[in-house]
Amino acid sequence: MPLFRGSVCYYCGLSTAAEYESIAKDIVGLFTQTFKVDKYELNVDISMGISIYSGDELDPELFIKYAEIALFWAKKEGKNRYKFYSSDVSIQNYKQFELRNDLQKAVDNDQLRIYYQPLVNLKTNELLAVEALIRWEHPDWGIVSPNEFISLAEETGLIINSGNWLLREVCRNYRQWLNDGLPNIKVSVNFSSIQFLENNFVDNIKNTIDEFKLDPHFLIMEITESVIMNNTDKAISDIKRLQSFGIQVALDDFGTGYSSLSYLNSLSIDILKLDESFIKNIPFDDTSSAIVRAVVNLAKDLKIKLVAEGIENWEQLTYLNELNINAGQGYLFSKPLPLEDFVKILVKGKCKPRLVNNAAVMPRKNKRKFFRIKFIQQLEADITILKIRDKKINVGNTKVLINNMGPGGLCFISNIKLPVEKEIILQFITRLMEEEIKVCGYVVWTEEIGHNLHKYGVEFAMDENEREDIIRTLNQVQINMRNRILFAKGSFVSCSPARFFKSLINRKASS
């Protein structure tokens, strides 16, 4: 971590990034050879995170954190790598680093939550069961989805604690529902393959269920094929013991993994959950429709119950009904809900599909103070996070697409999940009317618009002079739009957001 006095490092007399890079390369080079110690030949790998300080305000903690982030990132890329912090670190890497550091606190400080998603009879809309899905209410990043932290929890072993916490909470809630005379539906809980490594995994589950005086028949254990792939013998005997208590086993994400049908033989699976990726493309995509039809026949022949996941629209529901698939879940019926909201559905015992597909709930601002210009094409911009709770941070840029902009705020699309949080100040840089536009603001609403695609509403945080500048530029844009000459004068892109972000990922992977 070099420290600068003037333009030259106080410690080593180096001044340019290239000079540091050459030292980093030399150090990595030293470790490409094997080391001889006595009669042994040792291979040692090295990863290096480098943070260069060149400003005048020094926050030593932040400085060390940057080096650690760069190190984390270097390790992620493979052995014998070095990474410089700053220009290259993306918001996503920064977030992942913070999540990894804070995960232990999530369990200790009561930041985990359970959301419940109804599983319904597709013909009668009767509530059959509910899936318990974990969330992390992070103090800075808001509600964090399990997709962003389950793999971290698995790597660090914390999945055991969070899994135990979740089962205990589910049992506590279920006991309360029974005490309140609510319908005794089944509850589905996701288990990771790592949890099966626990010695007394089965006894712990049984003890928790007993502690709340519950009949184990209420529980469905959702596992993926990786459970059986990773620890075959123990997993199979554990699953058989759990089934002997009356717990049912569901094979989740069916069709996405290795899909060796022999699993269905070695284990007597009770339920197959047909992955949302197949449902997404029915009935219009022939391959998905053929796979769905084949799985329906397979399940029927093996006498396994089938559940369709991720039902989002009426075409999908109609097709599933035609195939006589009786159980399913998805945004068309309900998104995963916090406990209090789910209990309202449980009281009714029914969950009907929505008449209009308004699955995305958007806390949009009712009235805007300023006008908005909706661009005909999407405007490419770079965003960075300037501050989190008054703490200045230095992360690199990430590409986003701006839909519309006004003097009060803008709306953009990103493949990064950001929280609705006034304390996180974002900066947007783009080009309009051949000028660089730099605006700051915070997210006030969000909507999931596709797999890993989020739309955000931003309110600007700027003074009146800056606002006047923006108004001037936007007025120019409006005049140009009327004359249809805008597109030469801004960073507009013509492809769809999904394609844009896919090409970004591909570009990153090949670089």
CA–CA gap between residue 466 and residue 448 (Å, rounded) = 31
Residue 376's Cα: distance from chain center in Å? 29
Site for ligand C2E in 291-330 (CB under 6 A): 310-312, 329-330
166: partner contacted, choices ligand C2E, Ca ion, none (Cβ within 5-8 A by kind): ligand C2E
Cβ-proximal residues to 148 (8 Å cutoff; 6+ apart), any chain: 95, 96, 99, 417
| Shortest Cβ 189–ligand C2E spacing (Å) | 7
380: partner contacted, choices Ca ion, ligand C2E, none (Cβ within 5-8 A by kind): none
In the complex with Ca ion, the residue whose CB is nearer, 102 or 252, is 252
> Binding ligand C2E by CB under 6 A: which of 52, 91, 150, 402?
150
439: partner contacted, choices ligand C2E, Ca ion, none (Cβ within 5-8 A by kind): none
Cβ atoms within 10 Å, residue 444 = 16
In the complex with ligand C2E, the residue whose CB is nearer, 323 or 432, is 323
133 binds ligand C2E (CB under 6 A): yes
Cβ-proximal residues to 360 (8 Å cutoff; 6+ apart), any chain: 447, 448, 449
Site for ligand C2E in 330-369 (CB under 6 A): 330-331, 336
CA–CA gap between residue 357 and residue 318 (Å, rounded) = 15
Instruction: Answer yes or no: are the C-beta atoms of 220 and 185 closer than 8 Å.
Output: no
CA–CA gap between residue 254 and residue 439 (Å, rounded) = 45
In the complex with ligand C2E, the residue whose CB is nearer, 310 or 497, is 310
What is the helix (H) or strand (E) element at residue 442, kind and residue range?
A: strand 435-450
Two tokens, residue 122: 């597709």
310: partner contacted, choices ligand C2E, Ca ion, none (Cβ within 5-8 A by kind): ligand C2E
Nearest of 336, 339, 334, 315 to residue 125 by alpha carbon: 334
Report the sign of the C-alpha dihedral through residues 320, 322, 324, 327, in that order.
Answer: positive
| Shortest Cβ 310–Ca ion spacing (Å) | 8
Site for ligand C2E in 154-173 (CB under 6 A): 166
In the complex with ligand C2E, the residue whose CB is nearer, 81 or 417, is 417
Q: Rounding to the nearest 10 degrees, give the CA dihedral for residues 364, 370, 373, 374.
A: 10
Q: Rounding to the nearest 10 degrees, give the CA dihedral for residues 225, 227, 228, 233.
A: -170
| Shortest Cβ 337–ligand C2E spacing (Å) | 10
Site for ligand C2E in 224-253 (CB under 6 A): 252-253
In the complex with ligand C2E, the residue whose CB is nearer, 51 or 224, is 224
> Binding ligand C2E by CB under 6 A: which of 125, 145, 288, 480?
145
Interface ranges with Ca ion (CB under 5 A) = 190, 222, 252-253, 309
Write out the residues near ligand C2E by the rule CB under 6 A: 117, 133-134, 145-147, 150, 166, 190-192, 252-253, 276, 310-312, 329-331, 336
